[in-house]
Structure 1
Amino acid sequence: MLITTRPAIFNDIPVLQQLIAESVCRLSKGYYTETQIESSIKYIFGVDTQLLIDETYYVAETGNQIIACGGWSKRETLYGGDQHKAVADPLLDPATDAARIRAFFVHPDWARQGIGKMMINLCEAEAIKNGFKAMELGATLPGEPLYRAMGYKSLAKILVDMANGEQLDVIKMRKEL
């Protein structure tokens, strides 16, 4: 089947929120507890509308079905949807800062079929066009193998505190472009 990509639009948000929740619920099993998974959907993972405004967030679709989403950012935030941040992100300087890979989620029925790689390649190419020479990201434990396969190196393990007292392991990673 033909898979295409396009910039995400605000009308996509309800479908994206559903996709993100399903992706996290099913692909995080065995990496995080059920409570961590439920809490992360509520407090961390979701659409970051700043990426839509910046036109740096994409969907992958086949036919009219959105099967994945992800993007890159020229802003400071490393991870998390709108519910995870309180203020607008300052812009990064491409001469000194790394762009961000952000909010990658693949529908579980389409996982491990090269869609994530395709979208990372798109995001890296767009970041290079915008003058960036490196990328950073906050990887979930199930996402880390994909990023490692794409040449990202682990920098640090981050414990993200959630409002209900739960914590989520995230791996800060970087790649020189």
Structure 2
Amino acid sequence: MVRPATFSDISYLRQMIALSVRGLSTNYYTDAQIESAIKYIFGVDTQLIIDGTYYVVEKEGVIAACGGWSKRNTLYGGDQHKEVEDPLLDPVTDAARIRAFFVHPDFARQGIGRVLITACEDAARANGFTVMELGATLPGVPLYEAMGYTALERLDPVLPDGEVLGVVRMRKVF
């Protein structure tokens, strides 16, 4: 079941995001990169909850995944990655964003990510967007490619502790 995320979900989501990254990224990033990314980038973006564009998927009575779409400028990162409210995007000229997707390792590879991405794409289309963009982590690239996203460029942000995290900017046109 897909439902909008609420502020009461945040505490659990923070824990689940860390489990997701630690459990599903080990073949793509070093332990130091994973821990740095959890500290500096990966997390809940509360602006998405305020906007009503961040969702959770419940399965077997627990939150199995979270993710959303955004009508704002930020491409990736949680609250710790930005300082001000993002400006709104124009659906006529800008691409909506797929943001902050994480699946609990116990529920990986069960189609939950696809369900969540489809819900986000449908909502973005209903809001007038015809293009989606995202900053994909390396473990997410195969899923996004399977869903019709193409890689535009490799981003390698340097985190405050000097770790470099591989991220791929991707796009899909409806």
TM-score, normalising length: structure 2: 0.99
Amino acid at match of 1:133: T
The residue number in structure 2 matching 1:50 is: 47
Residues 116-145 of structure 1: per-residue CA shift (max 9 Å, x gap): 000000000000000000000000000000
The number of aligned residues is: 174
**1:33 is the counterpart of 2:30:** yes
CA RMSD, 1 decimal: 0.6
Structure 1, unpaired ranges of 5+: none
* Structure 1 consecutive aligned stretches of length 4 or more whose deviation exceeds 4 Å: none
The residue number in structure 2 matching 1:174 is: 171
The residue number in structure 2 matching 1:9 is: 6
CA distance in 1, matches of 2:27, 2:60: 31
CA distance in 2, matches of 1:63, 1:6: 14
Amino acid at match of 1:68: A
3-state DSSP class of the match of 2:80? helix
CA distance in 1, matches of 2:33, 2:39: 10
The residue number in structure 1 matching 2:113 is: 116
Structure 2, unpaired ranges of 5+: none
CA distance in 2, matches of 1:127, 1:38: 31
TM-score, normalising length: structure 1: 0.97
3-state DSSP class of the match of 1:161? coil
Q: Which piece of structure 1 moves more, 164-173 or 62-71? A: 62-71
Once the two structures are TM-superposed, the CA of residue 63 in structure 1 deviates from its matched residue by 4.0
Amino acid at match of 1:10: F
